[in-house]
């Protein structure tokens, strides 16, 4: 497979100051990119829902890696579905169009596992992406992000614009978002257990009944996959990024409690939503197309994440 030489490329990373963005920038530099030619944008400086800002940030860029997103767990998806749909659709659609008009050589769009149908056969294969509607609690976010795949494919067809689309599974790792109002399941659980320990509480509440399954990808692995695809993947079809390892929420909670040495009782709040019943990816295409395979074992990644939170809580 031919690989882009990143050393002389001017690269824009939207969301570059975020949890995943910092790791992507690190992996870009390890792959030979010049730190002085990597640009990041923050939402405080450039609101990418405004077309003029998109046009400004892509000017003179060779590669755009679009990570910026308005994203959160089930609670945020239920509270702000309209914002999540509008913000993610407008940021992505305008940035893609501006990049095409500016003559950007390659656009890397990082999508979401929430784009898959609610009842997708496990493991999720990229070919199943359109075989149903996403799980209701995160459908607005998932549909908005999935529309960007259609945009990239149509721009490739009409304008020969080289845009690729990646589907990372749920991410976790040090520096994740631990805000209880918007965090995903792993940081939310780590914080919940930590605070229960600090207060001496003998039980913790957890949403749902524990039956759904999830797959998780360590942030450095996700960044490595994104950079490998940036270098070597140039096709229109979406590609999964994951590990292929599936764990139930019940087993996840028990593992976090074990690693944090918490012996309290788990109270399952069965009146709260479970989210999608199962999530586990077929990761063969990423291996075949650009040689990506996750490096960090799940238990090791969890230990690193717990340790980071304990140091920074």
* Residues with catalytic roles: 141
H/E run at residue 107? strand 106-110
The size of the chain, in residues, is: 313
**C-alpha span between 16 and 101 (Å, rounded):** 22
For residue 58, what are the CA distances in angstroms to 234, 294, 298?
20, 30, 36
Please, what's the largest Cα pairwise distance for the chain? 61
In the block, tokens 């080289």 appear at 162
For residue 231, what are the CA distances in angstroms to 28, 77, 111, 159?
10, 33, 18, 21
**C-alpha span between 85 and 276 (Å, rounded):** 18
């Amino acid at each position: 497979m031919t690989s882009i030489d990143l050393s002389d490329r001017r690269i824009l990373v939207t969301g570059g100051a975020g949890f995943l963005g910092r790791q992507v920038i690190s992996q870009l530099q390890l792959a030979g990119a010049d730190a002085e030619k990597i640009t990041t944008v923050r939402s405080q400086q450039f609101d990418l829902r405004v077309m003029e800002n998109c046009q400004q940030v892509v000017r003179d860029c060779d590669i755009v890696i679009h990570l910026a997103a308005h994203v959160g767990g089930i609670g945020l998806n239920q509270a702000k579905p309209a914002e999540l749909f509008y913000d993610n659709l407008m940021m992505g659609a305008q940035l893609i169009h501006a990049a095409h008009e500016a003559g950007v050589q390659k656009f890397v769009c990082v999508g979401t596992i929430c784009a898959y149908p609610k009842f997708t056969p496990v493991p999720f294969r990229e070919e199943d992406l359109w075989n149903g509607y996403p799980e209701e609690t995160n459908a607005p976010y998932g549909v908005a992000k999935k529309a960007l795949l259609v945009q990239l494919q149509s721009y490739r067809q009409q304008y020969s614009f080289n845009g690729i689309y990646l589907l990372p599974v749920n991410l976790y790792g040090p520096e994740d978002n631990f805000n209880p109002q918007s965090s995903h399941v792993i940081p939310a659980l780590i914080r919940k257990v930590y605070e229960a320990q600090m207060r001496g509480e003998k039980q913790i509440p957890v949403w749902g009944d524990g039956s759904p399954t999830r797959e998780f990808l360590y942030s450095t692995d996700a960044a490595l996959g994104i950079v490998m695809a940036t270098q070597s993947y140039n096709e229109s079809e979406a590609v999964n990024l994951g590990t292929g390892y599936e764990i139930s929420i019940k087993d996840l909670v028990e593992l976090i409690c074990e690693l944090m040495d918490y012996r309290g009782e788990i109270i399952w709040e069965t009146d709260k939503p479970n989210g999608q019943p199962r999530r586990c990816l077929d990761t063969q295409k990423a291996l075949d197309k650009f040689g990506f395979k996750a490096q960090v074992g799940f238990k090791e990644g969890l230990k690193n994440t717990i340790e980071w939170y304990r140091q920074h809580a």
